[in-house]
Structure 1
């Protein structure tokens, strides 16, 4: 028996399962949808009795056009295999598409997003419903149960309203065109309201109410439209475009008639009662008003008004007399008080009082002035003496301080200093002149000595001492037995040279030359 490791057995089982099954297509509902951060999608494909793990990798997800949701019926194509690390049986999904009604649901979602982006579902485009519709258009199948319920409800709730039926197909290929034609006939001048109703059904049976041309026709209609398609659980896009949505056809009829006949009768009864109460109340108010007017008329009769005026005049005369007597008494009392106060403040009295007070004050002031004047004179004399003594001492100190400053000023007199500088400048000029003359004389003496030395060492003096200057035929000086000199000798070692002497030149032609190098002494 061959023994496998866990990895080997899972790997071999994966290959065998893939080879045996190949590519398969499976249909079912999506359960447990998980979107990983890596971009992979994991879910279970289930039916009523079983479920299958599915792995939808990122490389395949990016080509998927389906909006994956829970409970979505789909058909997937892929390869069966085993997830070796976990040992789980799974389907590797390569392609995914809606199955059955799910295709229609996906298409409905696409249309919904498109129209929503265009603003067809915005609340600002909704038209208000009339409070009391007199002429109502109903677009529906003439043989369905929905139209019977709508007619019964409208007849019961608002029998005065005129109901006009537009018979159309509500299912099939021609249904959308017939409904659009009926909507095009709606004119606001002829109809106050329109109902589009149909009974319940599957998504495929109700698909006509999701078609884009019909939705755009509902949006363009100028008459308010109530949608009553299907039951509460049914969902169609016409509900989003219509001005109002009702869960059922019957609910649409009720929504179209907010004011029913019974309600109108109740309102009429309440209005009749209110009018009766208003009439009775008005009569009572008018009676009370007449009573008040009669009372005011009796109160305003000429005899009563004259008698009342006389009584008022008598009372006013008595009040005036009392007021005058009281006022005169008060004024007399005030005059007495003012007279006493005036007597107290009479100018003569005030002057006499001031004279009595000023007499002693004058004597004291004169005495104080005399004493004060004497003391001030004495103080002035003392201050004058102190001032004279202080000024004399200060002047003396200032003179003593000025004497050294005067000497310093004389020592630093600009004229004197200028004269000294001029004298110093003349002395420096003389010194410079003497130094220049001395330098020139020294240079001349040095030049004379150098000239003498040069003359003594010149070639003329050397020639006079018995020396001569030897040159070759070209005039070049012959300095020693060099190779150049030897090169000028002929085969007999004879050389033509010139001798410069002190008193002239001598030419030695074809002279035989014997070269005897002289050793140089170390001295």
Structure 2
């Protein structure tokens, strides 16, 4: 169809304005996915960047009002979905997007979430080597947390069978990909710790993209691994794959097979060690037996040379001789002791204190009588002196004077004896004591003579 010429003449401004109107009417709100590039952040607070894919790119502008609502910081290389209005910047005639919202998408969002969670858990100390639990040298039972249908379980069982087939295995089946995977893994870890059947746990799956391994980058899974009382070996993905579970686990293995290698010892190494120990023990026992046999032979030779029969015969004769000597010595000693006893008895009888005791008893009786007589005379003498002193005291006693009709007058206030009328005044109260009783009186008349 041939093109028709629009006869209307446009200015540049008019053409840009019309183009902007057409774009606004037909692309009012669109969602565009692409990678951020050429990001610019001027002091105004707005940002300007390009969205690009493998074949093209488009200019974008996002104003600070919409920018404040973002939950992440835009950066070059980040894969995003932009909700925007298609428009045209009239002064330059640039076709662009005015972005109203940005969403992270693909590995970019997962990678940023991975780094944020890694930083948070590292800050809390969940990656510290000091909290890593040691693995048992020879586990009695191994728990495996993985998909029962994946390649990881086959690889793990193959390695365990080759290295140490006698070790029992408990499988805790989980999904290792998808929305429910993180919940399955957390439940399996909690169940293994509750049952407490295993000495070590292997958490594993095969390789995949970051999105495929997302269950092992979840915070709930990381905290369940950290809370496990049973040591956990993480064997997730290939050697190049790194997950949050690897950092939190007590041991990180590059693959599920390597995790199985770390879980059990190599039976061939143990068998070689046992053989070496058996050889060493056999040699040691051989040397000990040889040494003991030589010692036994030497002792047997000495025993034959010093047979006790000969010594017993010589000692029996010597014993008889000593018995006779002991009997004679005992008899002599007994006779000597009897003689000494008789001599000492005679001396004791001659020096017996019985007659001295009798003499002292008579002397005591005599002295006792003298003492009693002396006390009697002393008592009578003192009694006479007491009577004489009593008579003398009675003669000078004021009570005797009172008996002759005299009285003793004292001041009732001071208790002083009144000997003169000068010691009292009229109306004074005095106490008068007679030979029998006393009375109180008031002075009415005073006469001096």
TM-score normalized by the length of structure 1: 0.46
Deviates more, 1:143-152 or 1:183-192: 183-192
Quick one: structure 1 residues 281 and 26, their matched pair in 2 at CA, closer, same or farther if it must change by over 3 Å? farther
Partner of 1:22: 28
More helix by share: 1
Measure how far apart 1:214 and its partner are.
2.8
Quick one: structure 1 residues 14 and 192, their matched pair in 2 at CA, closer, same or farther if it must change by over 3 Å? same
Quick one: structure 1 residues 79 and 175, their matched pair in 2 at CA, closer, same or farther if it must change by over 3 Å? closer
Partner of 1:263: 269
> Does 2:217 match 1:210?
yes
Partner of 2:256: 249
> Does 2:100 match 1:133?
no
Partner of 1:66: 72
The partner residue of 1:161 within 156, 167, 170 is 167
Partner of 2:362: none
Deviations 1:459-494 (A, max 9, x none): xxxxxxxxxxxxxxxxxxxxxxxxxxxxxxxxxxxx
Deviations 1:50-70 (A, max 9, x none): 222223333322221124344
Contact 1:134–1:160, Cα closer than 8 Å, also in 2 = no
Partner of 2:207: 200
Quick one: structure 1 residues 83 and 243, their matched pair in 2 at CA, closer, same or farther if it must change by over 3 Å? farther
Query: What is the total number of aligned residue pairs between the two structures?
Result: 285
How many angstroms apart in 1 are the aligned matches of 2:136 and 2:75?
40
> Does 2:103 match 1:97?
yes
Contact 1:75–1:96, Cα closer than 8 Å, also in 2 = yes
> Does 2:256 match 1:237?
no
Quick one: structure 1 residues 142 and 24, their matched pair in 2 at CA, closer, same or farther if it must change by over 3 Å? closer
How many angstroms apart in 1 are the aligned matches of 2:285 and 2:191?
49
The partner residue of 1:228 within 231, 235, 248 is 235
Partner of 1:170: 176
Partner of 1:409: none
Quick one: structure 1 residues 276 and 235, their matched pair in 2 at CA, closer, same or farther if it must change by over 3 Å? same
Larger RCO: 1 or 2 (CA < 8 Å, sep 6+): 2
Quick one: structure 1 residues 179 and 49, their matched pair in 2 at CA, closer, same or farther if it must change by over 3 Å? same
The partner residue of 1:76 within 69, 77, 82 is 82
Quick one: structure 1 residues 178 and 94, their matched pair in 2 at CA, closer, same or farther if it must change by over 3 Å? closer
Matches within 5 A, 1:16-55: 16-36=22-42, 38-55=44-61
RMSD of the alignment, in Å? 4.0
Deviations 1:416-454 (A, max 9, x none): xxxxxxxxxxxxxxxxxxxxxxxxxxxxxxxxxxxxxxx
SS in 1 for 2:135: coil
Partner of 2:359: none
SS in 2 for 1:79: strand
SS in 2 for 1:52: strand
Partner of 2:443: none
Deviations 1:478-514 (A, max 9, x none): xxxxxxxxxxxxxxxxxxxxxxxxxxxxxxxxxxxxx
Partner of 1:181: 187
Matches within 5 A, 1:344-493: none
SS in 2 for 1:186: helix
Contact 1:67–1:106, Cα closer than 8 Å, also in 2 = no
Measure how far apart 1:141 and its partner are.
1.9
How many angstroms apart in 1 are the aligned matches of 2:267 and 2:61?
63
SS in 1 for 2:145: strand
TM-score normalized by the length of structure 2: 0.52
> Does 2:163 match 1:149?
no
Structure (1 or 2) with the larger CA radius of gyration: 1
Deviations 1:390-409 (A, max 9, x none): xxxxxxxxxxxxxxxxxxxx
How many angstroms apart in 2 are the aligned matches of 1:83 and 1:227?
54
Quick one: structure 1 residues 263 and 193, their matched pair in 2 at CA, closer, same or farther if it must change by over 3 Å? same
Deviations 1:132-174 (A, max 9, x none): 4342211122222110100111222233433222223334455
Quick one: structure 1 residues 80 and 235, their matched pair in 2 at CA, closer, same or farther if it must change by over 3 Å? farther
Task: Provide structure 1 residue ranges, at least 5 long, that are not aligned to the other structure.
Answer: 284-523
Deviations 1:301-352 (A, max 9, x none): xxxxxxxxxxxxxxxxxxxxxxxxxxxxxxxxxxxxxxxxxxxxxxxxxxxx
Quick one: structure 1 residues 166 and 39, their matched pair in 2 at CA, closer, same or farther if it must change by over 3 Å? same
Measure how far apart 1:29 and its partner are.
2.5
Measure how far apart 1:85 and its partner are.
5.8
How many angstroms apart in 2 are the aligned matches of 1:247 and 1:30?
33
SS in 2 for 1:142: coil
